[in-house]
Structure 1
Amino acid sequence: MKKPVYDEAFKRQTVQHIKESGQTVAEVARELKINDNTVYGWVKKFGTDPEVVAAQVFKSDEHQMREMQKRIRELQEENEILKKSDALLRERPSVKYSFIHEHRFEYRLEKLCIVLKVSRSGYYKWRCRPESEREKHHREMTEHVRKAYEESRRLYGSPKLTRQLNRQGIQISERTVGRIMKKQGLRSRTVKKYKATTNSKHALPVQDNVLGREFQATKPGEKWVTDITYVWTVEGWLYLASVMDLYSRRIVGWQMGERMTKELVIGALQQAYGRGRPDPGLLHHSDRGSQYASHDYQKQLLTYEMIGSMSRKGNCYDNACIESFHSVLKKELIYLNHYETREQAKQSIFEYIEFFYNTRRIHSSIDYHTPMEYELLYLNQAA
C-alpha cells in the first residue's frame, strides 16, 4: 500500500486540534490512523505557529462570555423543571423522587432536588428499593440509547441509533428506540437549508458524463466525486472544496479558502491524491463549474492519469453523493454553530470531517459502517 502524503494545512489543523481538544498525540494519531512519531513531528514543527497560537488566544478571550452563558443556562434549567413539575410540588416525596429519576439525564440531580425541595439522600434511599426486571431492562436500554445519541453528537434519529446499538450487540427495535427518545426528549438537531453555488456559464470545454449516476464502486480509489460549498462567518464567506471516494464515502481530500477559485479545487485534489495514492484510471466526476473545467485543473487530472467526467448541465442529481455530504455537513455542523472568523470555521470543519464523519459516523449506503471501517474491511479481505 502506498504511503499517504499530507499537506501543511492538514498538519497544522491536526496540531491545533490536539491543543484545543485536550487529546493526547497518541489518541489523535490512533483516530487518524497515522504513526505517533509522525504526529509528534507535526506538533514540534507547528506548535508555535502564529495561527495555532492565535486560535488559543481567541478561545481564552471567550471565557467570561461562557461563564455568563452558563449562569443563563442554569436559570433556564430551573425554569424548565418548574414548568414540568408544577403539579408535583404538593405531592408526596415518592412521586417527586419518581419524577427526578425519570428526568435525571435531562437535568442535573442536584438542581432537581433543590427545585422540588427534597434531599438527595432521600432520593438515593428511595432509589435503593428493589427494582423489577422490567424496570431494570428499561433503564439499561434508556442508558444505551442516550449514550449512543451523545456519541453521535446528538445528530442520529431512531433508525441510525437502532443500527448503531445493534452493531454493538444490543438487541433493541427501532420502535423502542423511538419511544425512549420521545420520552427523554432526544431529537436529531439537524437543520435543513440549501443554496446552489455552481457557475457553469463559461466557454471552457467540458467532459462527458462517464459516471452516469453509477455511485457504487468495487474498491477504494476507483471513483471520486468532488464539489464546492460555502460557509458563512462574521468575517465573510469561507469556501470548502471536497473530494469523496465513492467506495467508502470517505472524504479523501478537502481545501478551504476565502475565494471560490481553481486553486481551491486543485488543492483539494492534490491532498486527495497524496493521501489516497490511487492507481491510474481512476474515474473523477465533478459538476461543470469553471473551476473544474479550467485548463489547470484538467491538466492536473492528466498528470494523475485520471478519467474526467462531468454532470449534465443543470442536473444536480448527477453528482448527488458529494452534494449530499455537503448537505449533511451543514445540517449537522454549520447551521448549529455561529462562526466569528474563518479560522474558527476551518478548525470546526476539519474536526468534523477527520474526527467524526470519516471515523465515527455510520452510513446506511455502506451497511452502517464508518468510512474508515469499510475501507479496512476491504483491505483485510484483499490481504
Structure 2
Amino acid sequence: MIQEEGKTVPQVAKELGLHTNTVYRWVSEIKQDGGQAFPGSGQLKDDDKAIKALQKQIRDLQEENDILKKGHALLCKRPALIYAFIHKYRFQCHVAKLCAVMDVSRSGYYKWTKRKTSKQEKSRKKLEQRIRRIFLDSRRLYGSPKITQMLHKQGSRVSEKTVARIMKEQGLKSRTAKKYKATTNSKHNLPIAENVLNRQFRPNTPNQAWVADITYIATDEGWLYLASVMDLYSRKIVGFQMSDRMNKELALQALDRAYHQQRPSNSVLHHSDRGSQYASHDYQARLSTYKMIASMSRKGNCYDNACIESFHSILKKELIHLERFKTREQARKRIFEYILCFYNAKRIHSTIGYLTPNECERRYRKAA
C-alpha cells in the first residue's frame, strides 16, 4: 500500500503521527504472516488472506492513532494518570490495546482498579460533585468565578483556576447567549429631567436610588414588553410589569408595584432614560405623588442607566435567548418565575459581595 501510493515509511508515519519504527514493525509483521501487502511490482495480489491481514493492520493503526491523540497529554510516564485514562476509555478500546500503546502492563492496570481510593481522590470527587451541584442549581448559567465564590461561602478554599479546569473536564459550560435591540424612543417634546444620579451606582441604603427601563421579549404571538424597576443598593428588582404594548401605562404599573412593595419612608431618586414613557406628564405626576426625585440619562448615553440595562441583558442571556415562547402568557410565567424565584432570591451578584439581592437587603435591615 505504501509503495502503491509512492510514499516512504517515514512519510506515512509522519502523516499518521506515529513513530517510524511502529510502521516498519507492521510492514515486517505482514510480510512474516505470508501476506503480499507490499509486492515489488506495487500491485496487491488477489489473496483474501493478505487482504484481511492488511485490513486488520489498518484498523489497528486507526485505533492506536486515536488512542495516541487522546492520550497525548498523559504520555509522561505517570501511571496514575495513564491508568485513569485507560479506565475512562476501556469501553471504547480493548484494555490490552490501551495498555500496550501506553506502555504499561495489564496486571498493573487491574491492580490499580482494585486499590483503595486515596484521601486526595475522595476530596477531588467531592469537589467535582459540589461544582456540578452548584452549576445545575444555577440553571447551568454560572461560570467559574461565581461557582468559586459559592464554594468559598460553603467553606471550601479552592482557586478559580481549579474550578475552571474541573468544569472544562466535566463539560460544564455556561449556556448564556447574547443579542441586543434598542427600544428607547427619545424623539419627543416632553420635558427632560437633569442627570441627578450621575452614575452614582452605589447608594448607602435601600430605597435611596431606583433605576427603571423597558425591554422587549420575542414570542410567536408577537412582542412582549417588560418594564422593570431596580433598587441600586441591593440590585433587587422591586417592581416589574409586562404588556403587549410599550406605553406609559406599562411603566406606571411597574412603578406602582415597586412603591407599594417597598413603601420607602424617605424620598427616592428615580433614574431612567429619556423615553417618552418616563418623560410623560402622567409618569412625572406619579413621581411627585410618591415624593420621588426625577433623574434622566444624558442624550444617547447608555452608560448613565447601565445597571438596569445590565439586568435586562442578563435576563436575555440567561432566559429569553435560551428558550422559544409560543405565547406571551408562557413568556410572562417564565419571566415572573425567573425574577422572583431566581434573580432576586438565588442568583449571586458580584457588585454586592456575591450575595443575592434579597440576602443583601435582609442583611442591611438586620444590621439596622
Structure 1 contact 207–309 (Cα < 8 Å) conserved: yes
Greater helix fraction, Structure 1 or Structure 2: 1
Which residue is equivalent to 1:169?
155
1:380 aligns with 2:340: no
Tell which structure's C-alpha radius of gyration is larger.
Answer: 2
**Structural mapping, 1:6-155, within 5 Å:** 98-99=87-88, 129-155=115-141
Deviation string, structure 1 residues 77-109 (Cα, Å, up to 9, x no partner): xxxxxxxxx859xxxxx8798327xxxxxxxxx
Distance 1:117 1:272, change over 3 A: farther
Which residue is equivalent to 2:294?
308
Distance 1:252 1:117, change over 3 A: farther
Which residue is equivalent to 1:236?
222
Secondary structure of 1:153's aligned partner: coil
1:180 aligns with 2:166: yes
Distance 1:247 1:87, change over 3 A: same
Which residue is equivalent to 1:272?
258
Secondary structure of 1:360's aligned partner: coil
Deviation string, structure 1 residues 118-168 (Cα, Å, up to 9, x no partner): 9xxxxxxx9774102221121111111111111111111111110011011
Q: CA deviation at 1:299?
A: 0.7
Distance 1:128 1:198, change over 3 A: farther
> Which structure 1 residue ranges, 5 or more long, are not aligned?
1-85, 89-93, 101-111, 119-125
Which residue is equivalent to 2:308?
322
Amino acid at match of 2:227: A
Amino acid at match of 1:242: S
Q: 1:291 aligns with which of 254, 266, 277?
A: 277
Separation in 2 of the partners of 1:338 and 1:116?
A: 40
Separation in 1 of the partners of 2:144 and 2:117?
A: 27
Separation in 2 of the partners of 1:127 and 1:374?
A: 48
Separation in 2 of the partners of 1:222 and 1:116?
A: 64
Amino acid at match of 1:236: G
Amino acid at match of 2:272: S
Structure 1 contact 240–257 (Cα < 8 Å) conserved: yes
Amino acid at match of 1:352: Y
Distance 1:128 1:225, change over 3 A: farther
Distance 1:313 1:193, change over 3 A: same
Larger RCO (CA within 8 A; separation ≥ 6): 1
Runs of 4+ deviating beyond 2 Å: 94-98, 115-118, 126-129
Distance 1:195 1:283, change over 3 A: same
Distance 1:245 1:176, change over 3 A: same
| Cα-Cα RMSD | 2.5
Normalising to structure 2: TM-score of the pair? Answer: 0.71
Which residue is equivalent to 2:337?
351
Aligned residue pair count: 277
Separation in 2 of the partners of 1:357 and 1:165?
A: 19
Secondary structure of 1:137's aligned partner: helix
Which residue is equivalent to 1:261?
247
Which residue is equivalent to 1:248?
234
Separation in 1 of the partners of 2:254 and 2:114?
A: 58
Q: CA deviation at 1:241?
A: 0.2
Structure 1 contact 280–304 (Cα < 8 Å) conserved: no
> Which structure 2 residue ranges, 5 or more long, are not aligned?
1-65, 69-82, 96-111
Which residue is equivalent to 1:63?
none
Instruction: Report percent identity of matched pairs.
Output: 60
Q: 1:364 aligns with which of 350, 355, 358?
A: 350
Normalising to structure 1: TM-score of the pair? Answer: 0.68
Secondary structure of 1:359's aligned partner: coil
Distance 1:128 1:299, change over 3 A: farther
Deviation string, structure 1 residues 17-38 (Cα, Å, up to 9, x no partner): xxxxxxxxxxxxxxxxxxxxxx
Which residue is equivalent to 1:77?
none
Amino acid at match of 1:241: A
**Structural mapping, 1:212-231, within 5 Å:** 212-231=198-217
Q: CA deviation at 1:232?
A: 0.2
